[in-house]
Chain A
Amino acid sequence: MKRSLYPRLAWTGIVKNKVLYLPYIVSCIGSVAVLHVLQCLSYSTLLKEMRGGRSTEAILSLGKIVIALFSVIFLLYASSFLLKRRFREFGLYYVLGMDKKGICAVAAWESLILAGIGIGGGLLTGALFSKAAELVLARLVQGEAGFRPSFTLESFTFTFSVSLVIFFIVFLRSIVTVLRTDPIGLLKSESTGEKPPRSNPILAISGLLCIVTAYVMAVSIESPLNALLFFFVAVILVIIGTYLLFIAGSVALCRLLKKNKKYYYRKDHFVSVSSMLFRMKRNGAGLASVCILSTMVLVMISSTSALYFGKEDNLRRSYPNDVTVSLMMDGTESLTEENLTAIRSSYEKVIADRGIEPTAVREYTYSGISGTLSGNHISVRPSDFYDPSALDALRTLFFFPLTDYNRVADDDLTLGKGEAAIYVISGKYEQDTIRVENTEWKLVTRLSSFFPFEDTELSLNPTYFLVIPDNSELNELNGMRDDYGNPMLDVRYYYGVDMKDADLEAFSVSDMTEPLQSMELFRDGMGYSGGNIADARGDFIASFGGLFFIGLLLSAVFIAAAAMIVYYKQLTEGFEDQARFGIMQKVGMTKEDIRAGIRSQTRTVFFAPLLFAGVHLSFAFPMVWKLLMLFGLRDMTFAILTTLIAFGVFCLFYALIYRLTARTYYKIVSESL
């Protein structure tokens, strides 16, 4: 009899409080299912057989870690709601003579039941959805989904053990909480009056400072490398700032509103301001979490979708031709017509030997150098580069001889000695002259466009293209060596060729460069960059597709978590407000007044996080954009567009959550009306 008592108490506790437990169980099942789906995907044949599948797999395992950690945090948070409501029941058991051991036993059974449902349901749902997820991923990475069922015994055991650990942590927490609360506290925990929080201006101001610092950081950082360094600093500052601002700042704001008697003592403000103030301390944390989750979703979706949908553009920029070879030359002196002709004919022979008819060929020579800019002077002394503060002053210059430029761009530019034409890729340059070490050019023409240029290594920092009369103007730079004795000027011969897709499949860049090694010119070794666009496309699709997939999955999880937080918030508030609105009605408030009050209050509280998330997103954009540039994205309008679309779609989801959860609240509250 006694042995079956505890599980029975635990079970009836769950069934009777199903309004509370159902969403919790759904989140348990959801967490396990998402983990299981990810695990199934890593075992699927799709990734094993796919080109670049390894990078997708690596991204997925990163996602698994994030999901597991997030599940722990979120389930701890959600279960704290349950615990609070169950405490009264536990207190009653205590009064009726059950000792703490017994209460712990009930709590343990409860955890066991929930974990059982969560893991069982999660494994099942995960297995069901894994095929669908595999198909989605296959579509994104343009691979073939196999026909085999996508779950295996290994994936089952993995998910099972990880979930067990997660649920055990949640269980430990509830036991510790029960043990640490005194029995009378158990009985009273729900009814103790809570003093409206004191406003803490220091906290509010430091929250504001955190956010402003992060914003300034995000807006003012120019170099993508610095953006990478400071991105996480900014993220952490924003998270801390948001929590402080929502908890302390909103209290301070409500207090301020309350002090203004003309504002406060009005029918439509009186009730909402005071009840917002009353519960802000508790709900501030929840709202801040919703805000941060929303921001994360927005940043994730906008950036991964920009990368994914911008991949072809991105690819084309790195590969202006289907096959590109950018050959490193010893110095400008080796760019003789004789040398270039020898290389060119070697290339042409390789292509002709394979029976390939090029659809287009583009070739030119250029030289590149980096340095720090001050005024109109670029210093290329390498010691300057190691200073992080110099990152923002870092500029990259590319020099194109006039004849090459005119031929490739089909232009008829003319330049005198010491004159140059400038094309600015990113950043701006407004001086009339530019001096690199001791060589100065007068900028006579500003070009508004330039021919497609392979830029695998450029434009992380502001980049200038200079068309100069001929390579003799680079004599000073050509002779400069860095600390290791390597030439500082990077002199190259670019050769790009377009061909039919069928020819491209079997063609490799090394086929073109192999024969060059026997040339006298490359006796001391040979360096080149470039490749086959088809190879690169596979890699791009695999990594950006994988990123986008993880972005979608994590966003779904985060949105679900945000919805759950909002649901619990509405639920607890509904129970609190039930009695309150009954009283107000007796005192002479009309149902309409009450409904309007509820509407404005829930709306304010609900849409504040969205508003903040929107502001966060717009300030984060400059920084995210710099990071996207690191991944090779260059089209800012496109990135802005994807961000706006992401925000719009998210708003729709958010409004949907609002409608669904607000209904729960109305239902509870209207029982008293």
Chain B
Amino acid sequence: MAFVFRFCYNGDRKTQKGTVLTVNILEVSDLKKIYSTRFGGNKVEALKSVTFSVEEGEFVAIMGESGSGKTTLLNLLAALDKPTDGTVRLGGNELSAIRDSDLAAFRRDNLGFVFQEFNLLDTFSVEDNIFLPLVLSGTSPKEMEERLKPIAERLGITEILKKYPYEISGGQKQRAAVARAIITNPRLLLADEPTGALDSRATDELLRLFTSINRAGQTVLMVTHSVKAASVASRVLFIRDGEVYHQLYRGNDTNEQLYQKISDTLTMLVTGRESR
């Protein structure tokens, strides 16, 4: 099954690359998620109704305060959780239509993850951490090494491949995590607060890295509440109380200009709510 998916996606991707035709890689429509406590008493509406789409090659940032539903949204996009209502289509496939048994393979082949707390496994060396998804899909050791070489060079982690996660810095850990996320050539890279645990220098480095990966054609969707992180995206979505509240397009803005716009929007969102 996994093989079939990969075959289709890799197939149409090649034909579309370089054409002006824009294709929506991700379509989210009217997504709703209600959590209920075990005895069905209290219901918490994490997502009310979220609708948006991401085009191939885009770099989308989703902003929102804690509790706005960002993490819920990301879990639904990653098919780690099931929506109460609404659909998520990734590359034309509706996630809820994929059988549970195929989900892991689907996730492995189509999605790359970068997390705030890196989520590297300390039982593995950096190299083996990066190999993990490839090993899971049965890639040969030779091919894994061939794939790793250019990525490691680009991310500047060639030197630390043999080290263990607790021997390297936070910035290095996050770069290793990025390498793990992109080594499978995913259709969509999902980043959850990737700069949350980094100092400012490592943050700058990581954001530059994201920009360059995006320029190379990788579609990125990043959830963050850091204005700085969001300001490198090509589009910023604002979520509040479980709904997409506002969005900003970069247009021809520089990072600094977008930063200013995002700040303004956030201020407006906060004061706007207060004045209500």
A-side interface residues toward B, CB under 8 Å?
A: 193, 195-196, 261-262, 265-267, 270, 274-275, 277-278, 580, 583-593
Contacts and interface: CB of A to CB of B under 8 A. Distances in A.
Nearest to B140: A265
Given A193-B122, A262-B141, A583-B119, A588 B135 contact: no
B166 interface: yes
B136 interface: yes
Nearest to B145: A261
Given A583-B121, A588-B108, A593-B104, A274 B128 contact: yes
A263 to B, nearest CB: 10
9 closest residue pairs by CB, A with B: A588-B108, A193-B166, A590-B104, A261-B141, A278-B123, A583-B119, A265-B141, A275-B123, A270-B135
Contacts of B101: 590, 592
B107 A588 contact: yes
Nearest to A591: B104
Contacts of A262: 141
A589 B104 contact: yes
A231 to B, nearest CB: 41
B17 to A, nearest CB: 24
Contacts, number: 72
B78 interface: yes
23 contacts: A193-B166, A195-B164, A196-B123, A261-B141, A265-B131, A267-B135, A267-B136, A270-B132, A270-B135, A274-B123, A580-B121, A583-B120, A585-B80, A586-B113, A587-B133, A587-B180, A588-B108, A588-B111, A588-B136, A589-B136, A590-B101, A590-B104, A593-B104
Contacts of A586: 78, 80, 113, 115, 119
Nearest to A268: B135
A591 B80 CA distance: 12
Contacts of A196: 123, 164
Which of A265, A278, A587 has the largest number of chain B CB atoms within 10 A?
A587
Given A193-B164, A265-B144, A267-B136, A590 B105 contact: yes
B135 A265 contact: yes
Nearest to A580: B121
B193 to A, nearest CB: 14
B127 to A, nearest CB: 11
A265 B132 CA distance: 9
Interface in B117-150: 119-124, 128, 131-133, 135-141, 144
Contacts of B115: 586
B91 interface: no
Which of B101, B115, B141, B144 has the largest number of chain A CB atoms within 10 A?
B141
Contacts of B105: 588, 590
A264 to B, nearest CB: 8
A262 B108 CA distance: 21
B108 A587 contact: yes
A193 B123 contact: no
Given A193-B166, A196-B164, A265-B141, A588 B133 contact: yes
Nearest to B113: A586
Given A195-B164, A267-B138, A587 B132 contact: yes
A586 B80 CA distance: 8
B165 interface: yes
Given A193-B166, A265-B144, A588-B133, 13 more contacts: A261-B141, A265-B131, A267-B136, A274-B123, A277-B123, A584-B121, A584-B132, A587-B132, A589-B136, A590-B101, A590-B103, A590-B104, A591-B104
B93 to A, nearest CB: 16
A583 B173 CA distance: 15
A379 B123 CA distance: 66
Contacts of A266: 135, 138
Nearest to A193: B166
Contacts of B124: 274
A589 B134 CA distance: 11
Which of B80, B105, B119, B180 has the largest number of chain A CB atoms within 10 A?
B119
Contacts of B122: 193, 278
A194 to B, nearest CB: 8
A590 B99 CA distance: 12
A315 to B, nearest CB: 59
A262 B137 CA distance: 14
Interface string B153-193: 00000000000111100000000000010000000000000
A197 to B, nearest CB: 12
B136 A587 contact: yes
Contacts of A267: 135-136, 138
B145 to A, nearest CB: 9
Nearest to B132: A587
A591 B166 CA distance: 27
Nearest to A273: B123
A196 B131 CA distance: 18
A266 to B, nearest CB: 7
B123 A580 contact: yes
A195 B113 CA distance: 26
Interface string B180-222: 1000000000000000000000000000000000000000000
Contacts of B180: 587
A267 B108 CA distance: 13
Contacts of A589: 104, 136
A591 B180 CA distance: 20
A323 B179 CA distance: 88
A261 B143 CA distance: 12
